Amino acid sequence: MNEKIIIMGEKKNLVGILSDAENSGGACSRPSVLFLNSGLVHRPGPFRMNVDLSRQLASIGFDVLRMDISGVGDSEIPANDSRSYEQRNLDDIGEGIRYLAAQNTHGVIVMGLCTGADHAHKAASKYSEVVGTILFDAYGYPTLKFYLKRYGPILFSPKRVINIVIKVLKKIFRVSTSTSSSGGGADAYFWKLPPEQDYMKDMENLDKRNVKQCYIYSGGVSDYYNYKDQFKDKFGSSPIARGITVKYHEQADHIYSLRKDREKMFEEVKSWISKNFGT
């Protein structure tokens, strides 16, 4: 497997590492994969997860570019850049997509963890070159069973109820006394769950384009996703669920710090991508 440094962007400020697909002869017949940053974590990912998964995907025939968006890792924010944080991110991801699309006419699969999953969803909605997404701990919408699992045990513990009330009151007080955010700084690195109607609209458009999607949840996001069939219970009757595969790793933490959890997740990703894009 060969790897090389890629410099992208109109101002040549974006840096990535491309893992070439093995045995492709320089002409890969499968979609390329774009692996995004997770918040402030640069392109190797937590515990080098992005590196290891990229190389494993390259070993089964996929070109994989793991890139840094502006202001993260080796990618600099251009001088006198007046774009918003979100717009700059989408533009950066678009540069990565266009680079891969210029090398490969079979489309691009966008992949990311946490904030990277948020960015990947938005990029898939914006760029027609995207044919698939692999999203780790992406959006999750509550169901009745979610609330029962999350809050049921608390109702039988008066002490815990009192503690929650105190925390809520403190949070309300902090919000009421804080100043408004400009959209930059550390707060910009935490994604916000979009309104359900906006999410549904995006998903309907992705379904019309036949974009294949793989959602992988860990036990580290139990505050918004806490059981295996939550996505199915929420959206199973909707057409948007047709092209979506959902996996749940309750025993894993958010960044897959244990090797056994990481390796199990890697195998699921390789199985899914081979099944949907392997020929």
210 located within any domain: yes
**Is residue 258 domain-resident?**
yes
For residue 185, name the pLDDT band (cuts at 50, 70, 90). very low
Q: CATH number of the domain at 90, please.
A: 3.40.50.1820
> Which domain range does residue 111 map to?
3-142+191-277
pLDDT confidence tier of residue 179, bands split at 50, 70 and 90:
very low
Cα dihedral: 65, 70, 76, 79 (round 10):
140
User: Is 128 among the domain residues?
Assistant: yes
Tens digits of per-residue pLDDT, 123-178? 999 999 999 999 999 999 999 999 999 888 776 666 666 676 677 676 666 554 44
Q: Does a structural domain hold residue 182?
A: no
Q: How many domains, in total, are found in the chain?
A: 1
Question: Rounded mean pLDDT of the chain?
Answer: 89
Has residue 20 been placed in a domain? yes
- Asked if 74 and 5 count as a contact pair (C-beta separation under 8 A), the reply is no
Residue 184 falls inside a structural domain: no
3-state secondary structure the chain: CCEEEEEECCCCCEEEEEECCCCCCCCCCCCEEEECCECCECCCCHHHHHHHHHHHHHHCCCCEEEECCCCCCCCCCCCCCCCCHHHHHHHHHHHHHHHHHHHCCCCEEEEEECHHHHHHHHHHHHCCCEEEEEEECCCCCCCHHHHHHHHHHHHCCHHHHHHHHHHHHHHHHHHHHCCCCCCCCHHHHCCCCCCHHHHHHHHHHHHHCCCEEEEEEEHHHCCCCCCCCHHHHHHCCCHHHCCEEEEEECCCCCCCCCHHHHHHHHHHHHHHHHHHHCC
pTM of structure = 0.86
Residue 72: its pLDDT value, please?
93
- pLDDT tens digit string along 231-268? 999 998 888 888 899 999 999 999 999 999 999 999 99
User: Does some domain include residue 173?
Assistant: no
Residue 178: inside a domain: no
